[in-house]
Chains A and B, each alone.
Chain A
């Protein structure tokens, strides 16, 4: 097992290198550059723009730019943003907690609901419960996520008023929306208690994120469970008189969870990337927006930072998923 892990880790190095070359080249094809926002500003002379392009090394040929970047990276220096002039890791470090805070809560919530629902749905296949769960799951998957977010805002933040406005819980006098349409905390006058405020701001974005994930996870859990329930060893376990509860939870669930584990392991790197739609709709200062803004401004050091960390995480969690299989199913061996 240890040898397997070491081999996989060594294999990751050339993979990451190739990814970095491809991603870097693709970013450079994009015509945006960190100075393009200043092109039409008459207060900046064309000579000054040319001088800055030179200073920033924006006109260097691609191989030169790439080797500069790589030279820094191997020394552990991720470079500075071209726009804010702060280190890339500072930029990421500032956004990451916001993103994880939002997406982890949604992620855990989605799992806590999805696992039992998928399980029951499979055990009681074609029951009314199963039909209801399946229908809702399909709805959750097929609704465009940004549309759902906007609907949440219209209903809960525009149309519905907070009935507790002006009370001890929400000191702000009415009119106050049922739930805020964006931001992480109340910025204006008379904010609620910090904890209440945080939860209050989480409700809508978490709902938006969780509904979508929930719908997917329920489907995987149900499908995995249905497959396993048809297996001989389940029938044997039932035949030898084990209680249904024990059969399902001890024998079936562990094996049925394998597909879900894959999905989850691959979703964890996505948590790092942030949810662009949710962050944009709910003004959440997270990774998704950092990535989008950086792409728009051609801020390639930040883009490379995000993409390379994300690629590393994907490779790493793929390995974690493979190792997790071995624990869940002793028949899988890597040696």
Chain B
């Protein structure tokens, strides 16, 4: 009797555990509702619909919303919902005015002949979310915040050339520069937010209430910030653009990983996923409710070749025993099969890397990417005096053509591409051996003895971000004055590219205020680097965004985040 009794009891136990683990009112499934209802395709309405809530899921956690203190990329993308700049870059890579009424140029008199005085006409009737007027005084205040010492402001150095902002009237801002600053258009337009003058005392920047409840001029205002969970933004009914925004509410939902974010996108809980990567592609393509946008992203993954002999950080003259020869560097560039990397590892979502500047408004379309040409690579190595040894690896004067190849650990895409590139190199008789390090070690600072700072490497692989105005990028990566040394520990010309012509071109471009002439000079400098092959551009990635099909009005952009045109977004 007891055995049957216990059998019944143990079944009961299982049931109890099952119930106990689900204390919610467990609903009894009914047949009709269990099947997902097929949604009939609605007839397209004529124009944008007003109202509705948009949910963006972010898998990075914004620590606060003050870009002047910020570290996380996601914060600057949330800024696009509530904050605005003087100007922004649209989907075609052109500067368009936002809080200004036009982009200053020499033609319209906004830029003085010497380029040291820039005059912005500011939009009238723009109100902050608290109801006060947006005026030139806000720009003055912002500059004062950035200038205040020891308050944690990031951009002090970038604003160093700006002497002051003068306000002849509330809707005119005159930027007076001490020295000509080539990237003037970036100030108050992507570098640094614009603060309302009542945000707080400049020296208390770190503890402003603004940091979690920012006051902006943008189409949405932040009403709630729940750490680690979500940020709620509501429609700004006093927005300066008539009939905008369309949406009533935006929720930025914070999750710990991109896997969770993908899940929410899939089951429709999220409308936009912040920052998709190529690895998400196979799953995204299967989601019938998701539309994909891609636009080529500026910058890209590259190999950085050390032109100088490793060992002594102070010696930036002695050429690298192998990579000091431009023919060897070019041979490596010809020997890499970029297309296979893009097709196999990026699911086809990428372009072969061509040069440093590859997106409008500074897109050097004349520079062609190195073709995959093993014959040419081999010929170059032969010319350089490297002859095939017994095991196929080339030898010269008793030295093997063997190079250390490093990237950051824990990045599957990089590790997989290393495997392909090592194979490519073997085919032309070059031996690459892998010695990866965590990014904090490999890409660390001078004091941390980072190999790239001290020049203790052969070949590095990583991505450097690009900036809309390329001056800083070109100057810091390729000007001989940016080569790191004990006297210049902040320098980031890691390949130690030292070329008087490049220096001249960059200096010249940095002294002109207008776009077409500057573009031409930067492209010439970028071409010199490509010929010298100290940076070998592997692939240019896409800015991938998955949107629920109900979201309308978004345009793919190389520069902006998912909310760059937040006011125009609407949901069906």
Most buried by A among B13, B24, B257, B266: B24
Closest-CB distance, B371 to chain A (whole angstroms): 29
* Residue from B16, B17, B260, B264 in contact with A281 in the complex, judged by beta carbons closer than 8 Å: B260
Q: Which residues does chain B contribute within 8 Å of A51, judged by CB atoms?
A: 156-157
Query: Is there contact, CB below 8 Å, between A181 and B263?
Result: yes
B489 interfacial contact with A, CB 8 Å: yes
Contact partners of B491 in chain A: CB under 8 A: 46
For window 176-207 of A, CB contacts with B under 8 Å fall at 177, 179-184, 187-189, 196, 199-200, 202-203, 206-207
Query: Given A83-B63, A129-B9, A283-B254, is A161 in contact with B34 using a C-beta cutoff of 8 Å?
Result: yes
Residues of B481-521 at the interface with A, using a CB-CB cut-off of 8 Å, are 489-492
Among all A-B residue pairs, the 7 with the closest Cβ atoms: A285-B228, A46-B490, A128-B6, A85-B206, A31-B440, A132-B10, A48-B157
B267 touches A177 (CB 8 A): yes
Q: For residues 265 through 324 of chain B, which have their beta carbon under 8 Å from a beta carbon of chain A?
A: 266-269
Q: Mark A29-55, 1 if CB is under 8 A from B, else 0.
A: 011111111111111111111111101
**0/1 interface trace, chain B 149-172, chain A, CB 8 Å (1 if under):** 010101111100000000000000
Number of interface residues of B (CB under 8 A): 88
Q: How far is the CB of A24 from chain B (nearest CB, A)?
A: 18
Asked if B21 and A211 sit within 8 Å, CB to CB, the answer is yes
| Min CB gap B358→A, angstroms | 14
Q: A132–B8 Cα gap in the complex (Å)?
A: 11
Q: Mark A79-94, 1 if CB is under 8 A from B, else 0.
A: 0110111100001001
- 5 residue pairs of the A-B complex, CB under 8 angstroms, read A175-B37, A179-B24, A183-B229, A183-B230, A283-B254
Contact, CB under 8 Å: A129 / B10? yes
Interface: B444 (CB within 8 A):
yes
A175 contact from B13, B227, B267, B467, Cβ within 8 A: B267
Q: Is the C-beta of B207 less than 8 angstroms from some C-beta in chain A? A: yes
Q: Is the CB of A158 within 8 A of B157?
A: no
A71 located at the interface, meaning its Cβ lies under 8 Å from any Cβ of chain B in the complex: no
Could you tell me if B255 and A182 are in contact, using CB atoms closer than 8 angstroms? yes
- Let me know if B103 is at the binding interface, CB within 8 A: no
With an 8 A cutoff between CB atoms, is A153 at the interface? yes
Category for how many chain A residues contact B: 35 or more
Given contacts A163-B27, A280-B256, contact A47 B229 (CB under 8 A): no
- Flag whether A73 is at the interface (Cβ < 8 A): no
Interface assignment of B413: CB less than 8 Å from any CB of chain A: no
* Other-chain contact of A203, B22, B33, B462, B465 (Cβ < 8 Å): B22
List B209-256 residues whose CB lies under 8 Å from chain A. Answer: 211, 226-230, 232, 251, 253-256
Residue among A42, A157, A180, A285 making CB contact with B229, cutoff 8 Å? A285
Query: Quick check: B24 and A43 within 8 Å, CB to CB?
Result: no
Given A127-B6, A175-B37, A181-B263, verify A80-B476 contact (CB < 8 Å). Answer: no
- Among A42, A52, A161, the residue within 8 A (CB) of B476 is A42
Cβ-defined contact, B465 with A40, below 8 A: yes
- A223 at interface (Cβ–Cβ under 8 A)? no
Chain A residues with Cβ below 8 Å from B263 are 153, 157-158, 181-182
> Is there a chain A Cβ closer than 8 Å to B399's Cβ?
no
Q: Is A293 within 8 A of B61, CB to CB?
A: yes
In the complex, what distance in Å separates the CA atom of A297 from the CA atom of B462? 20
A59 within 8 A of B: yes
Residue among B17, B29, B55, B463 facing the most chain A CB atoms (10 A cut-off): B17
Q: Is the CB of B158 within 8 A of A206?
A: no
**Chain B hits for A48, CB < 8 A:** 154-158
Near B by CB (< 8 A), chain A positions 132-174 give: 132-133, 136, 153, 157-158, 160-166, 169, 174
Of all chain A residues, the one with the shortest Cβ separation from B35 is: A161
Bound form: Cα–Cα A113–B19 in Å: 11
A85 to chain B, nearest CB (A): 4
- Which of chain A's residues 267-306 have a Cβ closer than 8 Å to chain B? 279-281, 283, 285-286, 289-290, 293, 297
Contact B229 A34 (CB under 8 A): no
Name A43's contact: one of B9, B190, B227 (CB within 8 Å).
Answer: B190
Distance from A209 Cβ to chain B, minimum over Cβ atoms (Å): 10
Contact B257 A49, beta carbon cutoff 8 Å: no
Contact check: which of A59, A86, A163 meets B30 at CB < 8 Å? Answer: A163
User: A31-B448, A133-B13, A280-B257 are known contacts. Are A84 and B64 too (CB-CB below 8 A)?
Assistant: yes
Query: Nearest-CB distance from A96 to chain B (Å)?
Result: 12
Residue of B nearest to A48 (CB): B157
Q: Does B472 contact A (CB under 8 A)?
A: yes
Q: Is the CB of A163 within 8 A of B34?
A: yes
Given the complex of chains A and B, what is the CA–CA distance between A95 and B228 in angstroms?
A: 9
Residues from chain A with Cβ under 8 Å of B55 in the complex: 187-188
Closest chain B residue, CB of each to CB of A175:
B36
The answer, yes or no, to whether B552 is at the interface (CB within 8 Å) is no
Q: How far is the CA of A157 from the CA of B167 in the complex (A)?
A: 57
* Inter-chain contact A200/B24, CB cutoff 8 Å: yes
Q: Is B345 close to A, CB under 8 A?
A: no
Which of A36, A41, A85 is the one whose CB lies under 8 Å from B207? Answer: A85
- List, in ascending order, chain B residues with CB within 8 A of A34's CB: 71
**Looking at the complex, which one of A39, A45, A203, A285 makes contact with B443 (CB distance below 8 Å)?**
A39
Using A129-B10, A280-B257 as known contacts, say yes or no to A45 and B158 having CB atoms under 8 A apart.
yes
Q: Kindly list chain B residues whose C-beta atoms are within 8 Å of the C-beta of A81.
A: 63
* A117 close to chain B: CB less than 8 A: yes
Interface membership of B441, Cβ < 8 A: yes
Looking across the interface, which residue of chain A has its beta carbon closest to that of B257?
A280
